[in-house]
Structure 1
Amino acid sequence: MKIGLGLPIDDPAALADWARRADAGPFSTLGLLDRLVFDNPEPLITLANLAGATSRIRLQTEVLIAPLHNTALLAKQSATLDRLSGGRFTLGIGVGGREDDCLAAGIDSSTRGRRLDEQMSLLRRTWSGEPYGEGAGPIGPAPVTPGGPEVLFGGFAPAAIERVGRFGDGFLGAALPPRLMADRFEQVRVAWRKYDRPGQPRLVAQVNVALGPDETVARARRNVHAYYAFSGHADHIAGGLLVAPDAIRATTRSYFDIGADEVMLYCWSSDTAQVDRLADALS
């Protein structure tokens, strides 16, 4: 059973310590979220730094808001990160849902889904070594992973699930309990079969956690609330934070029971001792 850690964003300087502790422990992946108009570290730059601090654990954007990015540069950055990490990089990708991010990036939020579809075609073509487009040759470096890094799509709209079948390697589902995530996973499998994809999609679930003293839990709740304040559901999401070892174990087990290949425990407080607490709780 693969269990990853979603990295906190409130103290970027602590993330190298998080990465080294996780790399020495039982965890499979380090994930990092993406926002533009928010006080979070830029994920590709940060994960490149963490690639140098680790040797085993995978590195994952969770999820990168691709429409905010220049496509040619994103192709180059993600291939470079795949090379730097020795093929340990997963590009978790999505359209985002915050209008202010789109305004700051200078893109029309109403076209971000169409833009992502166009980006995926260009990314796949670039990673395969073909010319980027008319008048533009190939963009290197070539990724270590043939065809480019693993791509997981995150999101709640039917279009996100459809993209897994068309372009992706799997699905990253967040903010749903196991009983509801089970239906989402089955929709992904249906989309996979619709496009006659071989094998099975990789299914990853994410759950918010905080394990430690009252100060750690309180800080995590504040951070969750600030991040989701735009949604109108911040109280509900912060209230759903798992803060007890038994609850974390039971929920993790439930995600695996519905077919998850990996469960990401997203941590919202920079208390690095959580890495060891979570490892002990899950052992």
Structure 2
Amino acid sequence: MNVGTNVGIGLPIGDPTTLVTWARRADAGPFSTLGLLDRLVYDNPEPLVALSFLAGATTRIRVQTEVLLAPLRDTALLAKQAATLDRMTDGRLVLGLGIGGREDDHRATGTDLRTRGRRLDQQMATMCRLWHGEPYGDGVGPIGPVPARLGGPELLFGGFKPAALERVARWGHGYLAAAAPSWAGGLFDTVRGFWKHHGRDGDPRLVAQVNVALGPQHVLDDARARMHAYYAFTGTPDRMTAGLLTTPTEIRTAVTAFADLGADEVMLYCYGLDPDQVHRLADIV
């Protein structure tokens, strides 16, 4: 399959000890990016820590938070962590950011669920200033290191509401859409509209995410069970697992559909733990 769109792998979260195997296999294959989701009150690895480890175990593949819940984190420390990882990987970090929607995550950090969008905008103003080498403010100096690229790592924003889509044009370089092609096209168009409205040069980078599992029945069952558990909080986990793509034809069709919509990259997100899926996915990419 050659549709001119990069393809990355979203890593499973069920067992952090397997991720080095996934990462090394992906790094040796045709994949562009390793993605890792973020939650706090859940049995998943912390993404910046895990991706730092995986970046050290690979040589070329990008590492991407998909998405990091910035409002849960201290702003100055997050800016420093991201700049450090970006610098040490020579710009391989893609910082995908979002606000999250789980009340328990915010309760655990003492942050306000109701103001998380405003907090992210405030965080972006501070982090962008720091990544340009400017002082923190109020008598506090700059916070290094300087990232690989002045102004900070590549920034993607996830979300579906207008405020989230406009945030791409205000602060970012691109958009991460966890949506089916039938929905993603409208989201992409809205992002492009905001991009033009804000006078941004060029085009936003558009990244799509689709959930996949490829292999024998036990691999598919494992993926569905883990995906069902993860989305149980939505109240509609069956609807989410129903969208899992499990055949080469389904996966190829989805990647082609996203490419036709103008996606620059498609992330194949895996919930099942079997790392042999990397080779199976590589065969169809």
Deviates more, 1:231-240 or 1:74-83: 231-240
Is the CA contact 1:34–1:43 (under 8 Å) kept in the aligned structure 2? yes
Shift in Å at residue 12 of structure 1? 0.3
- Aligned mates of 2:149, 2:139 — CA distance in 1: 26
For residues 78-130 of structure 1, give each alpha carbon's deviation from its aligned partner in whole angstroms, at most 9, with x where no partner exists. Answer: 00110121110000000001011000010110010000000000010000000
- Aligned mates of 2:105, 2:254 — CA distance in 1: 32
Gapped regions of structure 1 (runs ≥ 5): none
1:218 is paired with a residue of what secondary structure?
helix
Q: Which residue of 1 aligns with 2:55?
A: 51
- Aligned mates of 2:169, 2:86 — CA distance in 1: 23
The equivalent position to 1:18 in structure 2, one of 8, 16, 22, is 22
Runs of 4+ in 1 over 2 A off after TM superposition: none
2:167 is paired with a residue of what secondary structure?
helix
Shift in Å at residue 141 of structure 1? 0.6
- Aligned mates of 2:176, 2:254 — CA distance in 1: 16
Q: Which residue of 1 aligns with 2:266?
A: 263
- Using the size of structure 2 for normalisation, the TM-score is 0.98
Deviates more, 1:26-35 or 1:232-241: 232-241
Q: What amino acid is aligned across from residue 205 of structure 2 in structure 1?
A: R
Matched, 1:7 2:11: yes
Q: Which residue of 1 aligns with 2:175?
A: 171
- Aligned mates of 2:170, 2:274 — CA distance in 1: 39
RMSD: 0.6
Q: Which residue of 2 aligns with 1:95?
A: 99
For residues 171-225 of structure 1, give each alpha carbon's deviation from its aligned partner in whole angstroms, at most 9, with x where no partner exists. Answer: 0000x21121101000000000111001100000000000011111111111111
Tell me the matched-pair count: 281
- Aligned mates of 1:136, 1:48 — CA distance in 2: 27
The equivalent position to 1:205 in structure 2, one of 205, 208, 217, is 208
Q: Which residue of 2 aligns with 1:81?
A: 85
Q: What amino acid is aligned across from residue 14 of structure 1 in structure 2?
A: T
- Aligned mates of 2:18, 2:281 — CA distance in 1: 17
1:228 is paired with a residue of what secondary structure?
helix
- Aligned mates of 1:111, 1:47 — CA distance in 2: 28
- Using the size of structure 1 for normalisation, the TM-score is 0.98
1:140 is paired with a residue of what secondary structure?
coil
Q: Which residue of 2 aligns with 1:192?
A: 195
Q: Which residue of 2 aligns with 1:216?
A: 219
Gapped regions of structure 2 (runs ≥ 5): none
